[in-house]
């Protein structure tokens, strides 16, 4: 791990940071995200009791320069760090995670599903000399304000996605279940892609319903700013249900998924149509499983 003296640290740029909830630091890391013209940052949260070791959650700098800014920011906070916690395996959540684990000599916490997907993608050697802690629903991974912080399994957007929340439900780290209000011009809270082999619309609905029942005070998304109350999740679930009915109607009219995309997303930037198509396919899969396409 590279050492810096205090004078050098002040000369090296750091990553902008916020404190969305007392005792939680949110680093607004420029990340590798597609399509990059719409979302540019993945939140790297630092969570743990004051004066205790912190979890580093989803460190994912876009390149070597941003990695250096992240490292410098971690030094700047002057915390001790226990583990890197990965919410799920997508590139904008794991970029440089292995390097950071080696540089700081700390383990990586991850779900079994996400770990196996990363091994398949990058090979067995990609985690050489790194301690892996596979974590599951209900495990205590740190403390916040004296409260146990537990793992929640939240499939839907990604089969292996994990979340964190304290006993009080003051906050719930929701990963990519929803995007928060962003910092870029014109950005706003929005839904996410539910598709490809790791996405499941049925599970996404159930996950949203579960968190709505838990009723946390704040939502901490992986992209954008914190959201107050579960109202954004309720709005997202309502929107998805409405979209499902639109997809069902167009299916009964004989429309293909591509035709559905052009009709339902005609007012959306065409660069996002491939992602919209994935959502439509996920809706169709859910409807088929429920016997609604017969």
pLDDT of 4 strictly over 60:
no
Residue 179 lies in a domain: yes
Residue 214 lies in a domain: yes
Residue 248 pLDDT: 97
The span from the CA of 284 to the CA of 281, in Å, is 5
Report the CATH number at residue 204.
3.60.15.10
Residue 129 lies in a domain: yes
Residue 8 pLDDT: 43
Residue 5 pLDDT: 41
> What's the structural domain count of the chain?
1
Residue 63 lies in a domain: yes
Residue 1 lies in a domain: no
> Domain range spanning residue 85?
6-289
pLDDT of 75 strictly over 70:
yes
Average pLDDT over the chain reads 90
Residue 182 pLDDT: 55
pLDDT of 131 strictly over 50:
yes
Q: How confident is the model at residue 26 (pLDDT cuts 50, 70, 90)?
A: very high
Q: How confident is the model at residue 101 (pLDDT cuts 50, 70, 90)?
A: very high
Give 152-210 pLDDT, tens digit per residue: 999 999 999 999 999 999 999 999 999 876 544 444 446 688 877 889 999 999 999 99
Give 225-280 pLDDT, tens digit per residue: 999 999 999 999 999 999 999 999 999 999 999 999 999 999 888 888 988 999 99
User: Region 120-131: what's the mean pLDDT?
Assistant: 92
| Token representation of residue 255 | 């429309």
Residue 190 lies in a domain: yes
Residue 174 lies in a domain: yes
């Amino acid at each position: 791990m590279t050492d810096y003296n205090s004078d050098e640290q002040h000369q090296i740029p750091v990553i902008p940071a916020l404190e969305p909830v007392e005792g939680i630091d949110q680093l607004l890391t420029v990340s590798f995200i597609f399509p990059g013209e719409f979302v540019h940052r993945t939140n790297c949260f630092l969570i743990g009791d004051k004066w205790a070791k912190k979890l580093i959650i989803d460190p994912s700098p876009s390149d070597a320069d941003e990695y250096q800014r992240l490292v410098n920011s971690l030094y700047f906070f002057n915390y001790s760090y226990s583990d890197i916690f990965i919410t799920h395996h997508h590139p904008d959540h794991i970029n440089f995670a292995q390097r950071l684990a080696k540089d700081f000599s700390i383990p990586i916490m991850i779900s079994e599903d996400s770990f196996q997907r990363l091994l398949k993608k990058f090979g067995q050697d990609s985690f050489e000399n790194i301690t892996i802690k596979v974590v599951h629903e209900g495990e205590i991974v740190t403390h916040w304000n004296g409260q146990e912080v537990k793992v929640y399994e939240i499939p839907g957007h990604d089969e292996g996605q994990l979340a964190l929340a304290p006993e009080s439900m003051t906050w719930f780290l929701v990963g990519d279940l929803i995007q928060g209000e962003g910092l870029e011009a014109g950005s706003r809270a929005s839904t996410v892609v539910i598709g490809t082999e790791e996405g499941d619309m049925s599970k996404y609905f159930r996950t949203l319903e579960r968190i709505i029942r838990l009723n946390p005070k704040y939502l901490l998304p992986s992209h954008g700013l914190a959201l107050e109350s579960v109202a954004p999740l309720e709005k997202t679930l309502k929107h998805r249900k409405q979209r499902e009915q639109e997809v069902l109607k167009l299916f009964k009219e004989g429309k293909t998924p591509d035709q559905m995309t052009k009709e339902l997303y005609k007012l959306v930037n065409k660069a996002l149509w491939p992602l919209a198509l994935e959502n439509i396919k996920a809706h169709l899969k859910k409807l088929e499983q429920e016997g609604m396409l017969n």
